[in-house]
Amino acid sequence: MKNQENTKFNQKKIYLADYKPSFFTIENVSLEIYVDLYKTRVISTYQVELKNCSKNETHDLVLDGRNLKLVNIFVNNKQIYSNKYILTDESLTIPRFSGGQIKVQTTINPSKNMDLSGLYASESGLYTQCEAEGFRHITYFIDRPDILSKYIVHIHANREKFPVLLSNGNLIQESYDKRTGILSRIWEDPFPKPCYLFALVAANLAVLEEKIIVGSGREVLLQFYTKKVDINKVFHGLKALKSAIRWDENRNNLELDLNRYMVVAVPDFNSGAMENKGLNLFNTKYILADKDISTDQDYESIRAVIGHEYFHNWTGNRITCRDWFQLTLKEGLTVFREQEFITDFNAKNLSEYQSRSAKAVKRIEDVQIIREKQFPEDASPMAHPIRPNSYSEIRNFYTTTIYEKGAEVIRMLHTIFGENGFQKGMYKYINDFDGSAATCEDFVNSILQANDREDLFHIFMRWYDSKGTPSIDIKEKWNPDSKTFTVTFEQKNSRGSIEIKPLLIPIKYKFLNAEKFSFPITEQLFLLKESKKTLNFRFPSSPPNEKPHISLFRNFSSPVNIIRKLSPEEYLFQMQNDCDLFNKWDAAQKLYLMAFIEKDPQKEKKFTTSLTNGLRNVLGDTSISEAFKALMLTPPKDSFISEKLVDQKRLIDPKFIFYRRTAILKSIALALREEFHISLNKVSQNTPSEKYEIDPISIGKRKLKNLLQMWLSQLDPTPKWKLTIKDNFFKSTNMTDRVEALKSLLLIGNSDCRDALKYFYKKFQGNPIALDKWICLQIEFFGFFSYNNVKVLNLVEGFLKEDFFITKNPNRVYAVLGTFFFKNLNEFHCHDESYELWVKEILSLDKHNPQLAARLTRSFDSWKNFVPKCQNNMKKSLDKLSKYAKSKDVLEVTSRLLENN
């Protein structure tokens, strides 16, 4: 029996199994666009041809279109009227069409487009967002990714209002009519592309540009556009783009193919950035940077996102997706390429131990995203394969599963075949599918065929069709008499209604004390293909009272949940002895988790003691970098702790997590207070505050310094310590140190904290990026050691009433509502009024930005796993939201969350 509220959701589902190629092709498109804030006129002209059809065959031509005002339509230069076509809110259909030229004129009102899809207004002009289905908001067209066309775009606008007119490709003509004040520009993109890669900008912007020479000797113009006041904040982005271009040339032999490459900063943007061919549009958050408004993390994120969008030029643009079910083909592969770019960049020109640490730090940061975001998604009603088999609203599937888990699936191929084998496969993929719309099978086949391993195709493709996180149950047995050691691996995946077939699981392993057993000490790779498999090892010799210690899934060789029962002493041994830095870090994470969730007080004490001893050793270890030490000292986030509770068939109790976590961390800080102070003094002396550098070593030192400061701020602060933190805040010369000092002041919670918040607001109230930080910090960190009975709920309600809360700006909405709904688990769930606020604000957003509303709804993904009081309130909230929401974005999410599965 279905929930009554769910019967409302009857939107048409689209299924992968129903895919059929279009009957039509459109090779060339001409767009004539007369830009106006309130009434933009679009004239689209294109030749539509039937393909693979007999001479007299006809088919209905369905042109997608939404929120358009149709002015007229011509077929082969003859106007047709309403008796010759069928017009609905979603499409324009010409029955029994046999091919010919289409010319359609429409008008749109960008000023009313709050959805930020299609052509819309932001504070400095008009911008587009066409992925996934935004082009249909601009004109009538076959809006699907397997229709590849060459575009020529004529843009006309009042030069005083819109002095910058941009589109994809190369500028081939420009003119200005002094009489009318109209500026006209013609852009031509020589490469076929799907319409989701179309872009247009009409705005009042400044530009920073530089010419570079690419590998083949061609000169290319790089241009960064933003508001004039921000033009000095794009130097880092330009530098990052040049690094990405060189990296793709050197490592992958892929060269920038255009004569001009443009990047535009957009204040109001639903996502991080968009890879439109030759004209990338970026959320200002991921392009503007200087040390006064940007943290180290901001700089690193900008470099990564710049790289990601550039790498799409080949993996996404030159080779695109056949259909939207194949989204991970471009996104998973490009996330992997982005990760490798950042890894290589961070390790460049470092010493051997610093390089090793830098690579491990990046790998760990990527795995943290998988564990803290993707694993919980896999365990929720929103679980889906990296290639879904159905959807109602494709915008709901831009997820960590598609992106980050998709990247891990690509990485497994790299693990199996190594860099050389993977590059052979990439070369084949690029050569075979350049200029076409491909599938996930095409990519996997390319890698396997290039390495003569087609036999792995069917088992590897199961990763694309299976939802949920595979669990690997590991049993170990040591027989000292026979000197034999066995390891049994058993695959388990309970997601879905049918039995999951075994997946291909690459397992990297190494014995940590192999030399004591006269056993090879090199790392090995084992491919688990069966549901259950036992590995047997026989050792030539065996020292008394010692057993082999095996390090498994090194460098996180597969995106799986590992079920392996080790003692606190064994985890400590791994922390101290594993040369694989990922597993060294992972052992510490296991100790944190067990200390946080262990029910037995005696066992919890053992885990905490082992963790404390391990962290003490980390602080004194000179073979690892400061950045890696900082990661070792960083406890798991609430989301990952929650996921582990669910793994143990326990319910998520936000108060339990908060108080247990706080108590454990405070006890560790007390035990290591002296070591923390010594390490803090040492790293502070080696981190000059007056000189701000964003190289990996400097960033690592700041990370460690500020993390130690946070640890010590959890203790009862002395007057001297309060003064130290206050000085650190007011004397900081960069945003990283300023933000971290403010976090510590929020933990301490006194009048100095209030003074710091007032100072921060006064200094940065005019800068949206910095103001978002001020908002996020208070919502996330108030409530830990809050003063004057401050409720985070009250803060949020206050922020929503401020003039600076602009509902059209997704960054501000995420700062206020996203931080509250996702990042302060205890404070959000401890007040019934929070759930009322959740429903109210999401319904409000649903009216004008359904995509943003649906993403915030996802904060209830795990509602069924909460303690009864929270669960009941969350259920009531979902029922209410499902009843009153209008968009299919939100209704699809609520429907899936309320399913009785």
Q: How big is the chain, counted in residues?
A: 901
* Sheet hosting strand 279-283, strand order edge to edge: 206-213, 219-226, 260-266, 279-283, 273-274
Beta carbons of 158 and 183 less than 8 angstroms apart: yes
Is 275 an annotated catalytic residue? no
CB count within 10 Å of CB 876 equals 14
The residue type at 433: F
Strand-pairing partners, residue 14, are 391
CA distance 723 to 721: 5
Backbone phi and psi for residue 427, each to the nearest 5 degrees, phi listed first:
-60, -45
What residues have CB less than 8 Å from 163, skipping those under 6 apart?
183, 204, 205
Beta carbons of 706 and 683 less than 8 angstroms apart: no
Please say whether the dihedral angle defined by the alpha carbons of residues 400, 406, 412 and 414, taken in this order, is positive or negative.
negative
**Could you tell me how many helices (H) and strands (E) the chain has, helices first?**
29, 31
Q: Which residues of 713-735 are buried (b: 16+ CB within 10 A; e: fewer)?
A: bbbebeeebbebbbebbeebebb
The residue type at 629: K
DSSP 530: S
Backbone phi and psi for residue 561, each to the nearest 5 degrees, phi listed first:
-95, 120
Please say whether the dihedral angle defined by the alpha carbons of residues 400, 423, 461 and 488, taken in this order, is positive or negative.
negative
- DSSP for 370-436, please give it: IIIIIHHHHTSTT---SS-SEES-GGGG-SHIIIIIHHHHHHHHHHHHHHHHHHHHHHHHHHHHTTE
| Active-site pick, 133, 275, 309, 827 | 309
Q: Which residues of 320-333 are buried (b: 16+ CB within 10 A; e: fewer)?
A: bbbbbbbbbbbbbb
Three-class secondary structure of residue 569 per DSSP:
helix
Among 704, 696, 630, 694, which residue's Cα sits nearest to residue 344?
696
CB count within 10 Å of CB 49 equals 13
R_g of the chain, CA atoms, integer Å: 28
Q: Which residues of 184-221 are buried (b: 16+ CB within 10 A; e: fewer)?
A: bbbbebebbbbbbbbbbbbbebeebeeebeeeeeeebe
Among 770, 867, 857, 656, which residue's Cα sits nearest to residue 295?
770
* Sheet hosting strand 86-87, strand order edge to edge: 59-64, 91-97, 86-87
**What angle do helix axes 768-781 and 735-748 make, rounded to 10 degrees?**
30
Q: Strand 319-321 vs strand 436-438: parallel, antiparallel, or unpaired?
A: parallel
CA distance 336 to 319: 16
Beta carbons of 851 and 115 less than 8 angstroms apart: yes
Task: Name the burial class of residue 96, with classes exposed (0-12), middle (13-18) and buried (19+) by CB atoms within 10 angstroms of its CB.
Answer: exposed
Three-class secondary structure of residue 827 per DSSP:
helix
Strand-pairing partners, residue 59, are 97
CA distance 344 to 339: 9
Among 271, 290, 289, 291, which residue's Cα sits nearest to residue 280?
271
Angle at 859 between CA 405 and CA 856, to 5 degrees: 100
Residues labelled catalytic: 309
